[in-house]
Each structure stands twice: as structure tokens, then as C-alpha cells.
Amino acid sequence: MNIVEISFVVKMMGELLHYVPVTLALAVSSLLLAMVIGIAGSILEKRGPYWLRRGIALYVLLGRAIPTMIMLYLVYFGLPLFLLAIKEEYGLTIIGMEKVPSFMLAMLALTLHTGAYLIKVFESAFLSVDKGQMEAGVATGLSVWQTYRQIVFPQAFLYAIPLLANQFLGLIKGTSIVFVISVVEILGAAKVACAESYRYLETYLAAALIYWAFSIVFEYLFAWAERYWGTYRRGRAQLC
Amino acid sequence: MGVYFDIGYMVKSLPVLLSYVHITLGLTAAAVAGGLAASIFLAMAVSKNIPVLAHFARVYISFMRGTPFLVQLFLFYFGLPELLIRLGVTAAHSVPGIVYVALVFAMHVGGYGAEILRTAILAVPSGQLEAALSCGLSEWQAYRQVVFPQAVKIAAEPLVNMVITTLKDTSLVFNVGIIDMMRKADLLGANSQRNLELYIDTAIIYVLLVLALHYGGKAVIRFIGKKSKRERAEVQVVEYC
């Protein structure tokens, strides 16, 4: 017997590739939802009422300090209990507590975790846009919301792209913890396969290689996108 | 409210979970110490472009940064003993699990630390090294006395962040059977069916630890900055003389 059986690693990779869509769906959906939190949170943190600003600051602190694993458990154990409490106290059934799929819980936990980071990302992105842009927009008769949407946001978003790319790569790696609440993604599938074959070395190696390939491919893609958008940004600046 | 959430139980079990905090802290310390040692070696190999070592270091750094820590943990915790036994090292099974975990953890931190140190060394102007060498310092002296002190100041903040990330990653090691706060919360929860309270406890402990590291790190960075001011003052005094 070879020390590491390459053919088994390759076969395992073929099997694990079936679970790539789960990992990707989890990462993409969490990133999109977290972006909503990030954009709304960073604007409200500047312009919202005092209590909301304090609340957002607390969320950012906790979201970044609590490990993702604990966040996952808090959602996994907390949300059904919360739904149950609402149901029994007020007679409201939003969605049955036993009906929430694990995938949704995993998505929610990853969103809560990433959202806290993205509030910081968009905060710095908005700061990178000159204050005069907002003032000029309002002075020409646009509302604050219009100025945000049409003038400030497009510029801030370009600045945020590389940081978002980093978060996305982190999220792909972060999805590997969700097997603990029985969502079967790449690592979860590898664990199941291990229980059958007892070949831990080759199976986990296959999983690691898939994640590694993902990271390298996306890193190149993002580097390319950054160059592409970067020239676009420079081109715009010259026009002005 | 009491039916769904028992604050009394939460407060009561906090000290129980806190009694396992030394595992978390010990693992963090071991991982950071081992990881820093490895990262200095790796960063030097890459930045001095030593033929074979630099290639190895680049692949190693890419792997450690490109795969999830949990996958690395499983791969090495389950795979390494298997590999050693296939190689004929039968003693591999008698090594306690926490040794493997500390090893993987240090290797993981080494990859991240190497990238931080590499960019920090790159950020020191190359004239510094050249000037030191032309003054007659040996290469080792030049790195130790001129390049590293400046690189450490540049790397200080990302390194503090790395330590905090390492601490947060310790919440994953219960997956391979290490009994830490997370595992204890799991075990207690199996009895009491009050998992939420227990995990809120662990969250509180982690948040406090992260805050302590954050402010401690800030103090260290300030201290390093102060020392550099004093050094600058000394240089000025020497120039006056």
C-alpha cells in the first residue's frame, strides 16, 4: 500500500465536488445579506437616532468578538426558542420552530458574523468619499437619499470591493463549521465519507485541496477585477 | 420568560465554564509562540529567496491561508497519526491529542504570521539593509539590529489581530475531542437542555478575553512606539555630541 493513495484522493475529490454548490450558496447568500446589514448599518450609525447608533456599535463589537462557532450555536439554540416564546406568549406563528431548516440557521449565523465586519468596511468606504460630494449633491437639490444612492454610494462601493473580496474568501472558509448543525457541505460530506472508509488522511486531504483551489481561483479573479475596476476608476477621475 | 431562558442557570454555570479557560489560553499561547517561531523562519526564506526553501514556504503559506482551520485540524489530527503509522512510527497513537492540536494550531498561525512578517520586512526601505551592510555589519547583524526592529513596529498591529483571531479559533478545537469551554458547554447542555444559556456564557468569556487582548495589544504597541521615540532622542543626543 502506498503511503498516500493518490487515486483515492482524486476519487474523493470527485465525490466532494458535488457539495461545492452548498458551500457556495451559503457563502454568496450570507455575503449578500451581510452587505445589506453593512450598508444600512454604516449609514444608520452616522445618521440614525442615538439609541440606534449605540445599538449598532454594540452589535459591531459583539459580532466581531464572538467566534463564528459560538454565533452559530447561539442562533441554532436561540432562534427556535425565540419563535417558541413568541408563539406561546402571543399566539403568533411566524414560522414553526421545528420547520426552520438548518441551512437557514447557518446562513443567519454567518450573516450576523459577517454583517458586523461589513459595517466597518462600508463605514471606511463612505469615509473615503470626500465630504464635498455629499454637500455638492444636496446643494444641487438632490435629497440626502438620492445623493447617497447616485453619488456617494457608487464611489464608496469601488473602494469596498477588495475588502468585500477578502470577506468572501473568509466566508468560504467560514462555511466549514456548519456541519456541526448537520448542514452537509464539503467538510460535512468528508466527515460522512470518513465514517465509511476510515481513510481520514486521503479524505480530508481531498477536502483541503478543494478549498485551496477555491481560494487560489477567487484570489486571481478578485485581483483581476480590482485591476479592471481600478482602471475604470482612474479613467473616471481623469474625465472630471 | 423563565421557562425559555433561565438567567439563574446562566450565572450559576459561568464559573464552571470559566474553570476551563486555561485550556483556551494555553492553546492560544502555544500556537502563537510556535507560530511566531515558524513564521520568522518562513518569512526569511521567502524574503531572502533561498532556492528550495522559498518555494516550500510560498506553498506552505498559501495552503495555510487558503484552507479553513477546521479542515487543517481534521487533516492533521486524524491524518497525521495515520500517516505516521503507515510510515512505521507505531508510537504515534500514544501521543496525547492535545499535542497534535497544538502542533496544527502553531502551523496554522505560522502561515498567517509569515505573511504578516514578509510584508513587514518588505515595507522596510531596502536602503536600510544596504546601508547596514555597507557599514560592515554582517547580514545577520543587519537583519537583527536594523531591519527587524523596524519590521516589528510595522507588523505589531496585524500581529495583535492575529493573536485575537487565534484566540477565537480555539473555539473550534472541541471538534476533535479536546475538553475546553465549548465541549463543557455541550456536555452540560446535554443534561440540562439549556444550551442557549451555556453558549451565552462562552460568548461572554470570549468577548472579555478578546477585549483584554485588544487593549493589552494597544498598550504593547504604544510601548513599542514610545521606545522608538526614546531611541530617536538618543540618536539626536549622539549627533549633538
A64/A53 Cα distance (integer angstroms):
17
Q: Are B21 and B202 in contact (CB under 8 A)?
A: no
Question: For cell 512578517, what's the residue?
Answer: B117
Q: At A238, is the pLDDT very low, low, confident or very high (cuts 50, 70, 90)?
A: very low
How many CB atoms within 10 Å of residue A84? Answer: 15
A77, B206: Cβ pair inside 8 Å? no
Which chain B positions have a beta carbon within 8 Å of A173's beta carbon?
67-69
Q: Quick one: how far is CA A9 from the chain centroid?
A: 29
User: What confidence tens digit (pLDDT) does each residue in A86-139 have?
Assistant: 877 777 766 666 677 889 999 999 999 999 999 999 999 999 888 899 899 999
pLDDT for the residue B241? 54
Residue A1 belongs to a domain: no
Amino acid A137 reads G
User: What confidence tens digit (pLDDT) does each residue in B76-130 have?
Assistant: 998 888 888 888 777 777 788 888 899 999 999 999 999 999 999 999 998 999 9
What three-state secondary structure class fits B171? helix
B241/B237 Cα distance (integer angstroms):
6
Secondary structure (DSSP) of B38-79 = HHHHHHHHHHTT-HHHHHHHHHHHHHHHHS-HHHHHHHHHHH
Q: At B239, is the pLDDT very low, low, confident or very high (cuts 50, 70, 90)?
A: low
Kindly state the percentage of chain A with pLDDT values over 70.
92
Residue A121 belongs to a domain: yes
A234/A192 Cα distance (integer angstroms):
50
How many CB atoms within 10 Å of residue A59? Answer: 17
B21-178: in CATH 3.40.50.970: no
A96/A86 Cα distance (integer angstroms):
11
Q: At B218, is the pLDDT very low, low, confident or very high (cuts 50, 70, 90)?
A: very high
A103/B232 Cα distance (integer angstroms):
57
Residue A232 pLDDT > 80, yes or no?
Answer: no
Q: Are A163 and A150 in contact (CB under 8 A)?
A: no
Q: Residues B45-49: what's their mean pLDDT?
A: 90
DSSP letter at A140 equals: T
Residue A58 belongs to a domain: yes
What nine digits make up the cell of A4? 498516500
Residues making up chain B, counted from first to last: 241
Least confident of A17-31, B20-34, B85-99, B219-233: B219-233
User: What confidence tens digit (pLDDT) does each residue in B156-204 have?
Assistant: 999 999 999 999 999 999 999 889 999 999 999 888 888 899 999 999 9
Q: Residues B26-42: what's their mean pLDDT?
A: 95
pLDDT for the residue A237? 46
Residue A87 belongs to a domain: yes
On the 0-12 / 13-18 / 19+ scale of CB atoms within 10 A, A94 is exposed
How many CB atoms within 10 Å of residue B123? Answer: 12
Vertex B156: Cα angle to B153 and B159 (nearest 5): 150
Which chain A positions have a beta carbon within 8 Å of B69's beta carbon?
173
User: What confidence tens digit (pLDDT) does each residue in A182-194 have?
Assistant: 889 999 999 888 8
pLDDT for the residue A239? 43
**In this complex, which of B74, B83, B207 lies closest to A62 when CB atoms are compared?**
B207
Q: Which of A73, A81, A120 to mutate to test the interface with B (most CBs of B within 10 A)?
A: A73
What nine digits make up the cell of B85? 503509522
CATH assignment at residue A162: 1.10.3720.10
Query: Residue A127's domain spans which residues?
Result: 6-239
Q: Residues A33-61: what's their mean pLDDT?
A: 93
Q: What is the ipTM of this complex?
A: 0.87
Chain B closest-CA separation from residue A135 CA (Å)? 35
Number of structural domains chain A divides into: 1
Residue A76 pLDDT > 80, yes or no?
Answer: yes
Secondary structure (DSSP) of A91-112 = ---SS-GGGS-HHHHHHHHHHH
A32 touches chain B (CB under 8 A): no
Vertex B115: Cα angle to B110 and B121 (nearest 5): 115
- Full-model pTM: 0.88
B67, A208: Cβ pair inside 8 Å? yes
What nine digits make up the cell of B21? 479557560
